[in-house]
Amino acid sequence: MTADTLSLRPRPELGAPGPWSFPDADVFTLDTGLTVRAYHLPGQHVISVGLALDLPLTAEPADKEGVAALTAACLDQGTRTHPGTSFADAVENCGAVLEATVTYAGTQAYLDVPATHLGTALTLLVEAVREPELSDADVDRERSLALADLEQRLANGSSRADREARIALIDPACRASRRKGGEQEALTTITGEDVRRFHQTGYGPTRATVVVAGDLPADVRQLVTAAFGTWTNPAQRLVAGESVRGRERVAVLVHRPGAVQADVRIGRFTIDRTDPRWADYQLAVHVLGGAFLSRLNVVLREEKGYTYGVHLTNAPLRAGGYTVLSGSFRNEVVADAVALAGPLLAVDAKPLTADELDRSRRYLMGVQPLQYATASGVCNGVLTLLSAGLEHTFVDDLRRRWTAVTPESATEAAAELLPADDLTVVVVGDADALEPDLRAAGFDVQVVGR
Amino acid sequence: MCFHSAVTNLELGYPLIERTLPNGLRVIVSPDHAVPVVAVNLWYDVGSRDEVDGESGFAHLFEHLMFQGSANVASGDHLGAMQAAGASVNATTFFDRTNYFEAVPTGALDLALWLEADRMATLPAALSQENLDNQREVVKEEKRQRYDNVPYGDVFEHALALTFPPGHPYAHTVIGSMADLDAATTETATRFFRSFYQPGNCVLTLVGDVEPEDTFARVEHYFGGIPAAVRPSREESVALPPLVGVPRRTVTQPVPEGAVYLTWRLPARGTRAFDACDIALDILGGGQTSRLYRRLVHSEQLSSGAGAAALGLIGGTSFAYAYARALEGTPLPQLESAVVSEVERFLAEGPTDEELGRSRVQFEREWLSQLARVESRADLFSCYATLHGSPDLVNSRVAEFCSITAEEVRDAARAWLAPDARAVLTYERATEGEL
């Protein structure tokens, strides 16, 4: 029947979420030392494959920072079996997409391919890591592309702010204080020989893991074993990662002439996933700046209209990590926004409530089934955990620990890790327009780049 | 080569059950019991193409107002309540549509439907000058953050204005202009709501851990009491002919490197000619095996990035572009003529078998990847129901795309992508004193 006049129903109650846990894996180890983790996800017709190498950036020579990323960028530029551009052709001809990237903890090669072409794609992935050409010409070209990319990123206020925040928060003695891809000075000097040496000593099956996720064929073990089983490297050398440390609080204003908006980062060096306070702290951070109705966003976006959105996020590394507020604000309101942020983060003045905590807990637990519903979601999730030195059991463990968090324990973790009077402030914007207001608001900023 | 193991005739089998409520709301349900979540997706058939002169950016500003409360929902509560139920929520505005979506744990489905029904039925009850002013500032911050404060951020603004005649529905960007945003009033918002936000102008899709009959009953329960309204009429779309005279625009800005963008008009999406042009552009500029990348970035090293793509639009005419960004020292005219000569070569030769096969298998993977997520699967069903009449087309899309022949690709490229049918947008790098 068509309604002639409006009639609406009363607001329904929230029902309980269905049960969920992280998918199980078939785990096995090849004779070469390589571990394989296979996640069978029916209905996921694009298979995701990740290869995680235990190759932290501390393996880079100090004067060649960026060599790991450059090596990764050159992997698909040709192999002995498929020289030059014939390698990329072969990858794309089977419907695959292949990419290698670096984190501070290791190098990861990643592949998406329709299930029908999994065998071919696995063979190509092994070629890329075992026998890449890494010719001088490829390295020279990829280096100049990396330098152009660096220049583009520095011209972007948000990327620039992320970089400056790392510099401001992390001890400069740590590799993690600098770009994964290397800074201009070192990058410029990297040669084909440097890349080949890095590959020779860094890439190998020892302590490496292959993650395969999707609607897997029955013979997936054989396919993976056939592709990876003969990959060895007697020259592989293992290197320890670093325990990252923070540095003293600073306030920096990075000059970006003519910017109509400033990119703001406010943060502190904090913890990683292995810290016993992680579950408490993660929930606290979500209440403060993760949710749409977070304490920060409600005031700075919904009440004040100062920003498109402000977020507080954790950036956990393998050992150590930091927490950072990110937002862009028009020039006229930057000082006010920065001044408001500290008090909004102060939990000792206003402890987290049970309701706030429940909302954040339901959100974080509710979105996980979706996050890990796809092949790429599971594969990337496991790769992230591997780079943190963890396995997928961490996800279910964390769900149990989230359940046990109390308003008191979350408040205590935030008060301890994110004291409002000990925060580093980084502002990237037009220093001429911003400096007087920031000083008037009590921020003794050090101006960079003017 | 492995692409010969052929994906043609690949028909997908996602289940689809569709019903229309008496008030005109189209409802599509597609069960998938893999995880206990359900994607709720609404497409309203309104986008920036429906904005009249002086109201650019309004469809998007209105999308923000949809989160500022309705008769029984407080400002911010839609997003707040959904997130607190474990849902991810968002909305986007584009030329041809505005979509609203939440992926929720199954126990939160009723609440999601109730929230969506309340704002579909009663949004003006909560419209206030304060809400409008606040969201206007938020949207202006969004514009600064995503477009004005970013190198090349205004590329679409210039490219659309070059490609479409003044006043054409696609001649302006979705984000609109600051002046038009400033001019928006609550009266405009109410009028916009009454025209476009009604059950008959909406498709609601649910994909996930649900049963069809039960789901239709729930939708009827929450949306059935919303009265039908007269659907907005829209002027018949006109297919524009290709450009003539190579219109040009040069902007001088402090960008890291100079860049050249070529644009063209294309047929509307949903036609074989559009798909054929899409394939041509993919072969010219989609990824590192493409002709533009191989020549400009890989071989001649004139460029730090080069590519091409089609932007499918439903209203008579679509949009295409090719671009190249200079590596230090490459003069822009040299960059432009290199792009033009690759386009000319493609028009003369058409695609190779290998290129066409690659385009097909890459399309298959991309399509399957989109369908892998219940959220984007629901969005595709809403899209094909709204723009092309039937969600079933999603299941046959790979087969349809792969049926385009090499001759069709070559002929469509000749008809639509000729160098003298292009417009040219050039970014010159500003030097000191020009700022």
Q: Transcribe A394-417 into DSSP letters.
A: HHHHHHHHHHH--HHHHHHHHHHH
Instruction: Give the pLDDT confidence score for residue B7 in this predicted structure.
Output: 42
Other beta carbons within 10 angstroms of residue A114's beta carbon come to 23
Does residue B147 sit at the A interface (CB-CB below 8 Å)?
Answer: no
Instruction: Give the chain B residue nearest A6 (alpha carbons).
Output: B226
User: What's the CA gap between A135 and B347, in Å, rounded?
Assistant: 34
Question: Which chain A residue is nearest to residue B255, measuring alpha carbons?
Answer: A155
CA dist B139 and B214 (Å) reads 39
| One-letter amino acid for residue B125 of the chain | A
Shortest Cα distance from A86 to chain B (angstroms)? 9
User: Contact A366/B87, CB-based, under 8 Å?
Assistant: yes
A123 touches chain B (CB under 8 A): no
Distance, first Cα to last Cα, chain A: 70
User: Nearest CA to A59 among A72, A50, A74?
Assistant: A72
Share of chain B above pLDDT 70, in %: 97
Residues 135-164 of A with CB under 8 A from B: 141, 144-145, 148-149, 151-152, 154-158
pLDDT at residue B328 above 90? no
Å between B361 CA and nearest CA of chain A:
5
Q: A345 to chain B, minimum CA–CA distance in Å?
A: 19
Which residues does chain B have within 8 Å of residue A427's beta carbon, measured at their own beta carbons? none
Q: What is the pLDDT of residue B3?
A: 41
- Measured between alpha carbons, how far is B161 from B154 in angstroms, rounded to an integer? 11
Under an 8 A CB cutoff, do B228 and A2 touch? yes
- Please, is A373 exposed, middle or buried when counting C-beta atoms within 10 Å of its C-beta (0-12, 13-18, 19+)? buried
A85 vs B34, B75, B298: nearest CB: B298
What's residue B25's pLDDT?
A: 98
Beta bridge partners of A314: A323
Query: Which residue is closest to B12 within chain A, CA to CA?
Result: A45
Interface of A with B in 73-112 (CB under 8 A): 76, 85, 88-90, 92-97, 112
Structural domains in chain A, CATH included, are: 26-228 (3.30.830.10), 251-448 (3.30.830.10)
CA separation for the pair A282, A278 (Å, rounded): 6
Which residue from B minimizes the CA distance to A150?
Answer: B256
Judged by DSSP in three states, A270 sits in: coil
CB contact under 8 A, B34 and A43: yes
Locate A161 and state its tokens. 């702010």
Phi, psi (degrees; rounded to nearest 5) at A448: -120, 135
Q: Do the Cβ atoms of A11 and B224 come within 8 Å?
A: no
The predicted structure's pLDDT at residue B10: 73
Cα three-residue angle B93-B98-B104, rounded to 5 degrees:
100
Q: Check if B14-223 and B248-429 are the same fold.
A: yes
Å from B106 to nearest chain A CA?
6
Range B405-433 average pLDDT: 93
Query: Which residues share a beta bridge with A210?
Result: A36, A51
Please name the member of B36, B148, B222 whose beta carbon is closest to the beta carbon of A9: B222
Q: What is the mean pLDDT of residues B421-433?
A: 86
CATH 3.40.50.720 fits B14-223, yes or no: no
The per-residue pLDDT for B6 is 39
Residue spans of the domains in chain B: they are: 14-223, 248-429
What angle (nearest 5°) sits at the alpha carbon of residue A416, between those of residues A415 and A418? 65
Q: What would the pLDDT profile of B22-47 be if each residue is shown by its tens digit?
A: 999 999 999 999 999 999 999 999 99
Global ipTM = 0.94
Residue B5 has pLDDT above 60, yes or no: no
Tokens of B149: 């404060």
Tell me the C-alpha distance between A91 and A110, whole Å: 12
> Average of pLDDT values for B295-319?
97
C-alpha distance from A216 to closest chain B C-alpha (Å): 14
The first and second tokens of residue A334, run together, are: 């930057």
Contact B301 A141 (CB under 8 A): yes
> Chain A residues with CB inside 8 Å of B76's CB?
292-293, 298, 302
Find chain A residues with C-beta within 8 A of B225's C-beta: 3, 6-9
Check if A46 contacts B (Cβ < 8 Å). Answer: yes
Report whether A434 contacts A331 (CB < 8 A). yes
Number of CB pairs < 8 Å for A and B? 260
SS (H, E, C) chain B: CHHHHCCCCCCCCCCCEEEECCCCCEEEEEECCCCCEEEEEEEECCCHHHCCCCCCCHHHHHHHHCCCCECCECCCHHHHHHHHCCCEEEEEECCCCEEEEEEEEHHHHHHHHHHHHHHHHHHHHHCCHHHHHHHHHHHHHHHHHHHHCCCCCCHHHHHHHHHCCCCCCCCCCCCCCHHHHHHCCHHHHHHHHHHHCCHHHEEEEEEECCCHHHHHHHHHHHHCCCCCCCCCCCCCCCCCCCCCCCCEEEEEECCCCCEEEEEEEEECCCCHHHHHHHHHHHHHHCCCCCHHHHHHHHHCCCEEEEEEEEECCCCCEEEEEEEEEECCCCCHHHHHHHHHHHHHHHHHHCCCHHHHHHHHHHHHHHHHHHHHCHHHHHHHHHHHHHHHCCCCHHHHHHHHHHCCCHHHHHHHHHHHCCHHHCEEEEEEECCCCCC
Kindly give, in sequence order, each residue whose CB lies less than 8 Å from that of residue A323, ignoring residues fewer than 6 positions away. A267, A268, A270, A285, A312, A313, A314, A315, A417, A418
A235 CA to chain B: closest CA distance, Å?
A: 31
Of A150, A183, A132, A73, nearest to B298 by C-alpha is A73
CA distance A384 to A104: 11
Query: What integer is the mean pLDDT of B203-214?
Result: 98
**DSSP letter for each residue of A343-373:** HHH-TTTSPPPHHHHHHHHHHHHHHHHHHTS
Give the number of other Cβ atoms within 10 Å of residue A243's Cβ: 12
Residue numbers of chain A with a pLDDT score lower than 50 = 1
What confidence score (pLDDT) does residue B42 get?
Answer: 98
What average pLDDT does the structure give for chain A? 96
Mean pLDDT estimate for chain B: 94
Mutate to test the interface with A, among B83, B120, B373 (most CBs of A within 10 A): B83
Residues of A in contact with B32 (CB under 8 A): 43
From A447's Cα to the closest Cα of chain B, the distance in A is 20
Q: What is the pLDDT of residue B11?
A: 80
- Third-level CATH fold of B248-429: Cytochrome Bc1 Complex; Chain A, domain 1 (3.30.830)
Interface of B with A in 182-201 (CB under 8 A): none
Nearest to B111 among A12, A116, A329 (CB): A12
Q: Could you read off the pLDDT of A98-110 as tens digits, one per residue?
A: 999 999 999 999 9
Residue B9 has pLDDT above 90, yes or no: no
Side-chain half-sphere CA neighbours of A361 within 13 A: 20
